[in-house]
Structure formats: C-alpha cells, structure tokens
Amino acid sequence: MSNPEPRIGVIALQGDFEAHLAVLAELGVEGIAVRLPQHLHTVDGIILPGGESTTIGKLMIEYGLDDVLQRKIQAGVPIWGTCAGLILLAKETDNALLGQPLLASMDIRVRRNAFGSQRESFETDVSVPVLGEAPFHALFIRGPVVEAVGPGVEVLATLDDGAIVAVRQGTLLGTAFHPEVAQIQGRRDTRFHHYFLRIVQSIKL
C-alpha cells in the first residue's frame, strides 16, 4: 500500500503564504491555510512563511497558534521556516524588536534584516548540496542571517562570505530566503519544497 501524500499546513496570518500554497498545489500536495488551532490538527508538516516576524508572532499568540505549534514541534512534526519563519524558530535573535514572540525551538542565533532594508533586497545563486549540483537562485527580502548554530544543527547553505542562510535540525528546516518564488531555467524551482516533503514523508513511514 503506497504512502499517501502528506497534508501541509501553511501559517496564513500575514506574509507570503499564498506562494507556498501555490507551490504545494503545483506539486499535487494538499496545502492548508492555517489561521486557527483546529487547522493544525490533521497536518503532517507546517510551513512558517516570510513576512514580518513580529506581526506573525503576535498574531500567533492572538489566535492561539503558538502553544499548538510548540506541541507539534515537541512531537517531531516537521516545520520549515522561511525568512520571518526562520526568525520565529530561532532560540536567539540579536536584534529582535521589543516583545518579539519566538517559538525558540531551533538551536541557532539569527540577526533580523541582516542585509539591510527592503531597498537592499537582492538575489544570488547559492550552492545547496542536499538539493543537487545546480545552484539555487535565492531571493533575499529583508532577510535574516544565521550567526551561530548549535552542535545538532546542519548548515545546508552559505553565501560566498560564509554567512549561513539555510539550516536543518532534525525535523526543523530554516531558510533565510524565499524558495517559494525561486526559478530555474524560466520555471519554478521546487527543490526546497521537495526536500521538505521528503522530511515529512520520512516521519510518516
């Protein structure tokens, strides 16, 4: 009997959640827009999208999602944070705004807006060996950077200057850029979503 496709919840409080849902739909995977705790009951993996980390964090508390997400993390449910989502997963942030809520689950320290304001947004090719030989075209929009990692954290990608921009710790995945809008040879590059789905499937087996 084949293993059924996973159901992926995308936190849909603010930010770039629609693009993640579009990628999942393209891959034939059911994506759930998560706004309330009950939307998380039957998901196999969760994506925390890019956006404004302080706003998303405060809305998670307002809608009662923070406690449920913590329980999911403790239960080993795979969670992928992109940009703002990476900040929310981090145990430490060097320059968080006052009152910044964090899920504080990944043994990393991050710095918000590490590359400057939105006007300093940029894109570059990044080597990500776990995705294969072809570089990943990464878009950074007010992106964070991982300044330090704990012993259980695998560094998946760095920039040419050594800045860490993709990490994994067990079932937790984090990227400082926006894979949901990446392209390769004029089409959507879904390799990071495939990689996350493989993590999810490995838990379901």
Q: Is 52 a catalytic residue?
A: no
Q: Is 41 a catalytic residue?
A: no
DSSP string, 124-152: EEE--GGG-SSPEEEEESS--EEEEE-TT
Please classify residue 94 by burial: count the beta carbons closer than 10 Å to its beta carbon, then call 0-12 exposed, 13-18 middle and 19+ buried. middle
What are the residues whose beta carbons fall under 8 Å from the beta carbon of 160, sequence distance 6 or more?
none
Residue 171 and residue 77 in contact, taking contact as beta carbons nearer than 8 Å: yes
Residue-wise burial string across 170-195, b where 16 or more C-beta atoms lie within 10 A, e elsewhere: ebbbbbbbbbbbbeeeeebbbbbbeb
Which residue out of 20, 62, 137, 180 is catalytically annotated? 180
Residue 88 and residue 106 in contact, taking contact as beta carbons nearer than 8 Å: no
Alpha helices in the chain (DSSP H): 17-26, 53-62, 65-74, 84-89, 191-204
Using alpha carbons, select from 31, 35, 23 the residue that is nearest to residue 6.
Answer: 31
Which residue out of 52, 178, 193, 194 is catalytically annotated? 178
Q: Which residue has the tokens 């990446």?
A: 182
Q: Is 39 a catalytic residue?
A: no
Which residue out of 5, 26, 52, 83 is catalytically annotated? 83
Active site residues: 83, 178, 180
